[in-house]
Amino acid sequence: MRFSKIPRSIRRVSSHLLAIILGVALTVSTLRVLPSLAEPAPNPVVDTPELIAQKQSPATAAIGNTSFVTAAVNRVGTAVVRIDTERTISRRVDPFLEDPFFRRFFGEGLPQQMPSEQLRGLGSGFIIDKGGLILTNAHVVDKADKVTVRLKDGRNFEGQVKGIDEVTDLAVVKINAGNDLPVAPLGSSDNVQVGDWAIAVGNPLGFDNTVTLGIVSTLKRSSAQVGISDKRLDFIQTDAAINPGNSGGPLLNDRGEVIGINTAIRPDAMGIGFAIPIDKAKAIASQLQRDGKVAHPYLGVQMVTLTPQLAKQNNTDPNSPIQIPEVNGVVVIRVVPNSPAATAGVRRGDVIVQVDGKSITSAEQLQNVVEDSRLGQVLQVKVQRGSQTQSLSVRTAELQGAS
């Protein structure tokens, strides 16, 4: 049938349909052939320094082929060591068995001394010098008769304790293993922030070369808060798993730099561990290497933080032995005999409110002021004694039995 014989109404509809079909085809063809008439093509992506840093960030690396934890551990891993210790304890017989009457009755064949006992300990450490200097905790090697250091490659060396400081729980051990040992890169704890990555490396419970991951939970956690008030430290708190045997091992940042030394755990809590800031350890390690000990100044008082509310509670208690000024400061609960504080006239119940013109509001603050002073330095201490204020001159002395 020819197109001319198709009724006009049908031809009109067919023309419209053809126009629509051709229009769609043309549009599709145009979009395919002329991309400039569609959406502009995106510009090529260029790696800027910001994008490069983002690609190398821990969050990005963690989902790549190699995690940032792996890279950090690989950087420091060979410098982490295991420390085994042995200590011999001679056990005496019960004093009752040493009574002369008892011996006359039972004869002189009774033992004078029980068999000795071998105590074994386990800890961690890390190499800080190519010549074999190792940093660890004092409580790992203190009073040990024998110290054995095992490197990651399996070699064992006898360790010589060069110095111990019980107050900061730090020790330096030396091994003779040549002059080309791997060294752990030391970072700065001053740059650490809450929420930063924290990687603990060590030998917990004897499981060598163990790595755990967490974050920095808080900073400047005082030793009193941790529960070891005989130390003078502000710890890094972390939730990276730390267990017995981790002591002395490094706490790393996401770049594999040492930011702390794993030291303490809370046995009554999960996921709470503490590390000595590396900047504090650097200064102490230098003194231990040079002198074998560290001299710490002291005043000779036992003290607690005081607030007006606590003082009021004390003063309203009919069984309280003393009345305390209701002020902010540090109350002295005991003065050590023959100490600098005793010589200067500090008394039990005095509230220390100022040292060298600086207000004192906590026991930790006062401890830090004393720790930062020099041996023999005279500190001007202002105390509130009852309703009176007195100024006392206290000359610091060396804390004995600290190392």
Question: Per residue in 182-226, pLDDT tens?
Answer: 999 999 999 999 999 999 999 998 899 899 999 999 999 988 888
If one counts the domains in the chain, the total is 3
Catalytic site residue from 84, 124, 139, 217: 139
Q: Which two tokens stand for residue 220?
A: 């400047």
**Are 382 and 335 part of one and the same domain?**
yes
For residue 166, being part of any structural domain is answered with yes
Cβ contacts of 362 within 8 Å, gap of 6 or more: 305, 330
**Are 342 and 369 part of one and the same domain?**
yes
For residue 125, being part of any structural domain is answered with yes
What would the DSSP string read from start to end of 121-179?
EEEEEEE-STT-EEEE-HHHHTT-SEEEEE-TTS-EEE-EEEEEETTTTEEEEE--S-S
From 239, 262, 291, the end of a domain falls on 291
Is residue 29 part of the annotated active site? The answer reads no
Question: Per residue in 144-169, pLDDT tens?
Answer: 999 999 999 999 999 999 999 999 99
Domain that holds residue 197: 189-291
For residue 66, being part of any structural domain is answered with no
Per-residue confidence band for 111, with pLDDT thresholds at 50, 70 and 90: low
From 174, 200, 234, the end of a domain falls on 174
Say yes or no to pLDDT of 369 above 80: yes
For residue 59, being part of any structural domain is answered with no
| CATH, residue 329 | 2.30.42.10
Residues pairing with 355 in the sheet: 358, 381
**Are 313 and 385 part of one and the same domain?**
yes
**Are 302 and 387 part of one and the same domain?**
yes
**Are 120 and 161 part of one and the same domain?**
yes
For residue 30, being part of any structural domain is answered with no
Q: Which residue is listed with tokens 């110095």?
A: 163
For residue 369, being part of any structural domain is answered with yes
Q: Which residue is listed with tokens 């042995």?
A: 86
For residue 368, being part of any structural domain is answered with yes
**Are 276 and 327 part of one and the same domain?**
no
Say yes or no to pLDDT of 284 above 70: yes
Is residue 16 part of the annotated active site? The answer reads no
Question: Per residue in 17-59, pLDDT tens?
Answer: 444 333 433 333 333 333 443 444 455 555 555 544 445 555 4
- The DSSP call for residue 37 is G
Q: Which residue is listed with tokens 């004192």?
A: 360
Is residue 247 part of the annotated active site? The answer reads yes
Strand, coil or helix: 297:
strand
**Are 134 and 216 part of one and the same domain?**
no
**Are 301 and 283 part of one and the same domain?**
no
For residue 92, being part of any structural domain is answered with yes
Q: Which residue is listed with tokens 């080309």?
A: 180
From 234, 258, 291, the end of a domain falls on 291
Question: Per residue in 226-264, pLDDT tens?
Answer: 878 778 888 999 999 999 899 999 999 999 999 999 998
**Are 154 and 204 part of one and the same domain?**
no
Catalytic site residue from 84, 165, 169, 350: 169
| CATH, residue 136 | 2.40.10.10
Catalytic site residue from 124, 217, 223, 247: 247
**Are 284 and 321 part of one and the same domain?**
no
